[in-house]
Chains A and B, each alone.
Chain A
Amino acid sequence: MRDAAFVRGNETIVSPLTCSLAPGERSALRFESTREAATVALMAAGIVKASSGRIFIGEFDPRIQPVQAKRIVGYVPHEAVPHEFATFFGYIEYRSALWGLQRERSIADAAALLETLRDVHEAFAYPLIGALIARPALLVLDRPQAAYAPQILTVAGDCAVFSTHVSQREATSFARSRAPDRAQA
């Protein structure tokens, strides 16, 4: 992100923000409001387009190549998994169809991840697994639970991890890692 900002009408929702993330790195940013944190996560995932400044995901500009950019990102929203799905694997099949993945492979990956995340509450585990079955290069977490930071960072593996938070304590717990980390205030 280079001077990426989001403005709606007269309201500045995200002030100009500059940050970069190399493959395998982690970045945990803290924001003043939940709305700003959520919007930055959406911008990092290529879902919301910056009003000014530039965002590149890998080598793709989400404004010009949204599909290519979204293919390498796994976005984990703060909201829980939609409860239209009768079963966990129903949700995985839905995600797999949206991403054009092989159903059997997705289910096998999801079962393995579910086993690894057995200590994590399903409301937090399911969206994470849904994002990871597409094997993204960048995992974007919108206000994840600090209590589950070790498990989340373990399953993320070599993925670059970008997370947004509203508390410094949470940001620090996600920035703690092997890579050149930072927790910005």
Chain B
Amino acid sequence: MRPGAAIAAVIVTRLRKEARLIAYVCAASAIVAYLQPHAILSVVHDPFAADTATRATWLAGLTFFGTLCGIVAAIAQRGGARLRELELCEQSAPLYGRQLARATATVPCIIVTISSFVYWFVQFVTGMAAPPAFFLLALAAVNASTLVACSATVRRGPSRYLYVALAWLTAMVSYALAIYLDRLRPPPRGVDHYSDALGVATELSFCLVVGFIAVRQYGESLARYDPVPE
């Protein structure tokens, strides 16, 4: 038994099935990145406020629109008739819930990573792209919230909405950590901007922990999941 080959087969087949969704998500990302603000308001004279506004301009669209794309891509992975045949094929295979969870959670993460790169590229072309470190922060946030949203696909009713809300909460907390955490400390003397170190480290650690717990939780839910026809 080669679980790696099985996981790769699931990912490749699902990505092929989602080609149209990938195209839509990328097109939407490009449009939103083009329309988003590309400059800091001239009324912001305080260098520290300007620093915060710049970070917000880099990250807000990328993080929150990316989260929306991630939730859509995650929800599209299960339920309904569209992927029913693939789902039954995967569920009947001798795979553990955790293996299936890793495979099916990777698909929306790949989709949202591609759309984030498209978003960032359009930001870059229009002149207000986040620097690589901040792009990494946004990428971590959207992937963590996408992994949380995966658990919504194996639930019904209010608990499904709860996981979608948790995915948004993950994005909001990540954004707040990246933008505001460094402001809690006074900036070093003689410097007109805040240090990034604490915000970057804390946000990445937060996303890593949330993502890890989300995949574990998704695996356990998938092991108990009963794909009964509606």
Contacts and interface: CB of A to CB of B under 8 A. Distances in A.
Interface of A: 6, 8, 13, 34-35, 38-39, 42, 45, 47-49, 66-68, 70-71, 73, 75, 77, 79-82, 84-85, 93-95, 97-100, 130
Closest 4 pairs (CB-CB, A-B): A97-B9, A100-B1, A98-B93, A75-B92
B205 interface: no
A6 B2 CA distance: 33
Interface residues of B, number: 30
A180 to B, nearest CB: 27
Contact of A98 (B10, B223, B224): B10
Contacts of A35: 228-229
Greatest chain B CB density within 10 A among A47, A75, A93 is at A47
B85 to A, nearest CB: 4
A87 B89 CA distance: 17
B89 A42 contact: no
B94 A99 contact: yes
Nearest to B84: A79
B88 A98 contact: no
Contacts, number: 87
Given A45-B92, A97-B2, 11 more contacts: A13-B228, A35-B228, A47-B88, A47-B227, A49-B226, A67-B96, A75-B88, A94-B13, A98-B89, A99-B94, A100-B5
Contacts of B88: 47, 75, 77, 79
Contacts of A67: 94-96
B91 interface: yes
Tell me whether chain B's interface is mostly helix, strand or loop, or mixed: helix
B201 interface: no
Nearest to B83: A82
10 contacts: A6-B228, A8-B228, A38-B229, A39-B229, A47-B88, A48-B227, A82-B13, A97-B8, A98-B89, A100-B2
B85 A82 contact: yes
